[in-house]
Chains A and B, each alone.
Chain A
């Protein structure tokens, strides 16, 4: 299996600040997916990036896939309390049959 390193593990910031979460690996992935998980629920997909260098935006969230398809980042602009949650990156491999998750980033946005 492939391994994904996600950082930071915990992040607590004030409302209105910007933040970036990183997802890194020594392995190449078919695609990189970002999920958000609420307490007591399973993860729910935010976005998938497939092409090296690809950038996708989802309102205040910007996702980028590294040129070599080994890393990705999630940038949140002007964070809001509603952004609080566990953010997980996941890489597809093995012909997109395998799906490996990072350890997650616990994000708290304080009003």
Chain B
């Protein structure tokens, strides 16, 4: 009963490096989300995917790309990391009109 699994849990990048955050859910949910959480800013939506094959921008999409590989997996890519992208990233999934289930988060530091 894994729920939402995010990897990695911690990552340190140098400015300009790229990386992909992985997210997988085993609950057959249609919708998946990527948020970033910064002190005093709450959870801000980066991208979301309402169904396999579709993705849409959220509040803060600049500097990120996403891929909905299949119904289970939704990855977030940073092509050229910047210190402003230092944050805690959360992946979530849900069905329509249901609660969102969250992963444990990825703590990313860009130096």
Contact = CB atoms under 8 A, between A and B. Distances in A.
Contacts of B96: 95-97
Contacts, number: 69
Contact of B58 (A1, A43, A92, A103): A1
A99 B100 contact: yes
Interface residues of B, number: 26
A35 B43 CA distance: 11
A97 B29 CA distance: 11
4 smallest A-B Cβ distances: which pairs?
A: A42-B102, A103-B42, A97-B50, A45-B99
Interface of B: 4, 30-31, 33, 35, 40-45, 48, 50, 58-59, 90, 92, 94, 96-97, 99-100, 102-105
Interface of A: 1, 3, 6, 9, 30-31, 33, 35, 40-45, 48, 50, 88, 90, 92, 94-104
